[in-house]
Structure 1
Amino acid sequence: MTLRVVTRRFDDDRSLLDLPPTSAEAHAWVRRGEGLVGWGVAARLAPGPGADRFARAEATFDELVADAEVDDEVQVPGSGLTAFGSFSFDADASSSALVIPRVLVGRRDGATWLTTVDADGAEPAPGPASAPPVEPARDRPRFAGSSKPDLRWLEAVATAVDRLRAGELDKVVLARDHAVWSQEPFDPLDLARRLARRFPSCHTFVVEGLVGATPELLLARHSDRVVSRVLAGTTGRSPDEADDAALGAALLGSDKDRYEHQLAADSVRTVLAPRCTDLTEDPEPRLLRLDNVQHLATTFEGHLAAPASVLEVVADLHPTAAVGGTPRDRALAVIRELEGMDRGRYAAPVGWIDANGDGEWGIALRCAELAGARARLFAGVGVVAASLPEDELEETRLKLLAMQAALDADR
């Protein structure tokens, strides 16, 4: 299949999330008004299960790139032939995919461009919406249960703590899901708009029914420069300024949370340091304040010593200790034994890649898997030897509030 790709500058200053003519087959990756949106499907690349699913997806994408006819007058990361993607957390799952949209609009540093992708015999794809989006019908979400009830999940965390105190591993991340249903179908773009307004500093994403706003940047690669932002360690927020500051100070001073965070940062450094000539990082964890929670954060920046695409490095990073644990293989075994659910694409890489290997990939956190009037929400916590199961359950409740509020028509 030969794809004909044309990228031109585009004079339109509307919100990117308002440009797709319909939510059907819409994809997005936006932050602070910049990023990418696309619609229609020129090609869908499904690599299947396996630890090499990242490499197989990229190899298939590279074959399309090699055969494509490209006319790109913009020549920036995200122009030309570009694919959105999301991958399964578990290597044995088969839900990973890269999707090349028929139409893509990108914006960076005040410049906007439009890319169209045509295949042999395909009808022209619709252009950007000509009118503001119509508010969809909304209904409140009803709780439909979790894969593991709260009591059983608390017992799973307690078992994990016993393993940690016995020295079997240093950290494990345990997650839980929260299924909801509604009388009206959930609209992914409507949900993305609400998330983007509430969490402007996060990357809001829409990829094949997976919708969320992640604060965690797994890896961005622009030419040879790479950036990664690690989060681990969480507390709540308070409307009272003094109380809010006290919560943040307590998090910064918490030995338990700093240890949990250090393990996550170490897992990223271990991958990036050998690949970079000049890797730098924040000397101390800093506070990242979001609407509903505060996190400990560390940012890494560097330049690649040898050519490597964004997906090649992402494959090495996933799963970091922020979403898996330490040691990685032992933590993954404990997750499979104790968690009691299929993570699907939760806590796995989501983002985009272009023909030059540039791209931006986050970890699919603060997200929902949508299926019509059904949705499945997720939240996870890092468990270490000093963890208290009841505190970890409360942390998942705090994290779930973000998506619950975005889904609720009355909030």
Structure 2
Amino acid sequence: MSDSALPRLRARTRPISDPGDLLRFAEPQDPAVWLRRGDGIVGGGCLWRGEFQGESRIRDAREVWDAILAQARVEDAVRVPGSGLVAFGAFTFAASSGYASVLQIPQFIIGRMDGKSFLTELFVTDSTVGSGPVPTVPVRLPLIIPDGPEAVTDLEPGEMTQERHREAVECALSRIEQGEFTKIVISRDQHGKIEPDADRRHIVRRLANTYPETWTYAVDGLIGASPEMLVRVLGRSVTARVLAGTLPRGANEADDAAAKRALADSAKNRVEHKFAIDSAIESLRRLDTHDDPDTGLTASPEPFLLGLPNVWHLASDIRGTLPQGSSVLDLVEALHPTAAVGGTPRKKAMPVIDELEPFDRRRYAGPAGWLSASGDGEWVVALRGAEVDADGSVTAFAGGGIVAGSEAADEFAETGPKFRPITEALKPLAE
């Protein structure tokens, strides 16, 4: 994509009074959303959209973004994460996917971060426009869009039936025993259909309200509430959250406490978690080619138990400093796919996923998030959600890590609670 084909953009961010529910300003059919605990950013309209495919899709997106920034003008009077010129993005899990990875820039962004509310207005200019400031006009909030029809459907099993899943897990275990790899993630699919004119914001709102501690995302029809932060860059500070090892929550207090203890004591889940942590740290260290003592990485000495309404996870946080000359998309490319959604070793496990899963994962378990002209960005692993197509078709995925000692029946059962967030978000409000 040549620079001449890219838009010349101006972005102006100004403070506003607290706008309340940010979702009221999102597009009903194609919301662009990033929320946690009620705060975040929402985009409206689409000023520019780029599509990328193949092995270099993330690298190509970074080059295009850099080219857009090189000819953009940004006036940011707020300067918090998510202000200024921002693009939302979602990348496919596999390079071989037949679906597009995207970056898209909205016509406006309304947000609330760090106690500050703001509105970013974006404009396409041409080369004849001077370098002076954008003319000052009063701040006018975008129109609030009333709620449309509910987005409801029952998800039904897809191509990966329970029997087919059992066969895939047993094949994976055999190949683990032969030493081909030590871990692989096998997922299954579910499908449904909402009305084409249904308001997708209903799905986003239910996820955000039910799972406020996760990162609720909506980008180009990909909607979910992920508990796993692939990478966050604020300034030069880098953080990532790794999840691997899962058990369902108990039905009552005693059962829940027992499930929590069982996960903490599970040798199988701890091994799975260690694979994921080691893989993430190795990926980040390979990226740092500079002699920079400030980029050292630290991880939680022991995994902690993260309780969500549907499951317990073993979790660890990684912290470090952005290597000089790197961007958040460089980190996204280095980390994806994590061992938590791919396998170990990565290069051995990925082709086998293609063999054992009878579908294209699309952007499930791929990176989804945002990045800004200031260099900030937040990207999750796209979990606990679904692809919602323009015609209303809904495709959801959930998976689990297979290591030595895994049981096929247990692995199939583990995916049930992972479908629960999107399944419940698609139920009628009366239920």
| TM-score between the two structures when normalised by the length of structure 2 | 0.90
User: Aligned partners of 1:294, 1:215: CA distance in 2, in Å?
Assistant: 11
* 1:204 aligned onto 2:211: no
Structure 1 residue 243 corresponds to structure 2 residue 261: no
2:33 to 23, 28, 32: 28
- Residue 84 of structure 2: which of 80, 83, 88 is its match? 80
Q: Indicate the residue corresponding to 1:393 in structure 2.
A: 412
Name 1:362's counterpart in structure 2.
380
Kept in 2, the 8 Å contact 1:18–1:129? The answer is no
1:54 maps to amino acid: I
Q: Aligned with 1:142: secondary structure? A: coil
- Conserved 8 A contact 1:224-1:303: yes
Return the alpha-carbon distance in structure 1 between the equivalents of residues 265 and 322 of structure 2: 34
In structure 2, the residue matched to 1:2 is 8
What is the alpha-carbon distance in structure 2 between the residues aligned to residue 10 and residue 139 of structure 1? 31
Corresponding residue of 1:68: 72
Higher mean C-alpha displacement, 270-279 vs 376-385: 270-279
- Please state how far the C-alpha of 1:272 moved relative to its aligned partner: 2.4
Distance 1:294 1:127 in 2: 44
Structure 1 position 404 matched with structure 2 position 404: no
Give the deviation of 1:128 after TM superposition: 4.5
The whole-number CA distance in structure 2 between the counterparts of 1:185 and 1:291 is: 30
CA distance in 1, matches of 2:226, 2:78: 28
Distance change in 2, residues 1:312/1:184 (3 Å): closer
Q: Distance in 2 between matches of 1:186 and 1:380?
A: 28
1:322 pairs with one of 324, 340, 343: 340
Measured in 2, the distance between the counterparts of 1:29 and 1:161 equals 37
Counterparts of 1:349 and 1:239 in 2: how far apart (Å)?
A: 32
CA distance in 1, matches of 2:350, 2:328: 24
Is 1:14–2:20 an aligned residue pair?
yes
Q: TM-score, normalised by structure 1?
A: 0.94
The answer on whether the counterparts of 1:213 and 1:365 sit within 8 Å (CA) in structure 2 is yes
Change (3 A) 1:378 1:185: farther
Q: Percent identity?
A: 42
Shift of 1:302: 1.3
- The CA deviation at 1:33 is 1.5
Distance 2:250 2:147 in 1: 31
Alignment match of 1:89 (pick from 93, 98, 102): 93
1:199-238 alignment, distance < 5 Å: 199-238=211-250
- The alpha-carbon deviation at position 244 of structure 1 amounts to 0.8
Matches within 5 A, 1:7-406: 7-20=13-26, 22-47=27-52, 49-93=53-97, 94-120=99-125, 128=141, 130-131=143-144, 134-138=146-150, 140-183=152-195, 185-273=197-285, 275=288, 277-371=295-389, 372-406=391-425
Q: CA deviation at 1:194?
A: 0.4
Could you tell me whether the CA contact under 8 Å between 2:183 and 2:402 is conserved in 1?
yes
Deviates more, 1:265-274 or 1:389-398: 265-274
User: In structure 2, what is the Cα distance between the partners aligned to 1:144 and 1:304?
Assistant: 43
Checking the alignment, whether the CA contact within 8 Å between 1:144 and 1:181 is kept in structure 2 is: no
TM-fit CA distance, 1:107: 1.7
Asked if 2 retains the 8 angstrom alpha-carbon contact of 1:226 and 1:301, the reply is yes
CA contact (8 A) 2:150 2:202 kept: no
Structure 1 residues 145 and 11: CA distance shift in structure 2, 3 A: same
Partner secondary structure for residue 412 of structure 2: helix
**Count of residue correspondences:** 405
**Which amino acid is 1:384 matched to?**
V
Q: CA deviation at 1:307?
A: 3.1
Letter in 1 for 2:424: A
RMSD: 2.0
- Displacement of 1:357 in angstroms is 2.3
User: Take 2:81 and 2:9, find their aligned partners in 1: how far apart are those partners?
Assistant: 19
Mark the runs of 5 or more structure 2 residues left unpaired by the alignment.
1-6, 127-138, 289-293
User: Deviations for 1:326-367, whole angstroms, at most 9, x for unmatched residues?
Assistant: 010110011011011100000000000111321000000001
Q: Deviations over 1:168-203 (max 9, x none)?
A: 110000111101124565432111100000000000
Tell me how far 1:392 sits from its aligned partner.
0.6
Bigger Cα displacement from structure 2, 178-187 vs 348-357: 178-187
Q: 1:224 corresponds to which letter in structure 2?
A: R
The range that moved more, 203-212 or 397-406, is 397-406
Shift of 1:241: 1.8
Q: Is the 8 A contact 2:9 2:124 kept in 1?
A: yes
In 1, Cα distance between equivalents of 2:251 and 2:160:
32
